[in-house]
A and B are shown apart, each in its own frame.
Chain A
């Protein structure tokens, strides 16, 4: 797979292909598998994503600790709010739904990780519904997202323990923004700007989950990460460009992650996890998990 988005964008423009088709062809060559087989695997991932959203919208899912759950349903039902009846609201709801399913040990697609698994399905299926995009194009978008994620994995990190939340929900938001920009007709170069415009907004985000559990704030970070991705998509499709090249934005995310104190990298030693209330809740809820299992 590509190690720089600039190279992929250049090749896609030269070969007059979408980044999705470039990614599928490259994957087929790298792995010695036919494109049809890769597309079938991505279609299965899309089906699981839709299943998780549907399940999460029922609203009766709670995590083992009880720290999170039921909020996707609240957002879906609330008639008020400035975004009611908009695709924006629908996308935020979908992101919460997937993460609530994840926290309740339901089936999801790690994209790129379980902790950031709500953003890509929320953005792609939400926009596909709003704009009647056929599944074939959504599968293309998953390939574009995979290409972006592969570059981030290569140049920076996709692990909260290595790079903080900017490497999990930040990377997921960048992947979703780039993929959706192409799905809605953006050029390869606009995809690059969408990723840069999105990831600049998540730089420095720490990984600080209460008790080290993929629950709080992870569930909500998937909603706010989706909002940042939507801003990136909107700006890129309007022709707005970001002056720092996308690969340099990804590099600096990796650099910030390496410099980040270990307290802010999934250890529950800092950030929200280390607030007085964060510590108290974690202690109470972990005790509850032991009791419910025993």
Chain B
């Protein structure tokens, strides 16, 4: 009975919701600069895997609890259009926890749900809302871009991506 009341209430509120309140995923897109790197040296003849201080990667930030973004914060890093690593921060936990990482290596291999530790994560503003245009994220994480033993510290700036 209680479930029925809740369902009816939810349906009513949904039906009466103005179109302007239609929700969607909202993301911020930017660039991340590597400030520190260790264990990231590429093998000989494989410069495209090289990650070092000054490397810049494209990044997308999907902060938690903004519109339909869900309860977890997600961040993706794309290196040289050759490898992509997306990390899911459980409950948006900061500054440190173990993320679930997904993506593809520089060899074109699939990686799914690999645990990747991160520390020192901090976003500005601390609570991101739909009204924020410019946001920042800094932090350190291991096995960057699925390069085993590659630890990096980055600083990223993002601009809100316009609704499509």
Answer yes or no: do A and B interact: no
Residue numbers of B with Cβ under 8 A of A are: none
Residue numbers of A with Cβ under 8 A of B are: none
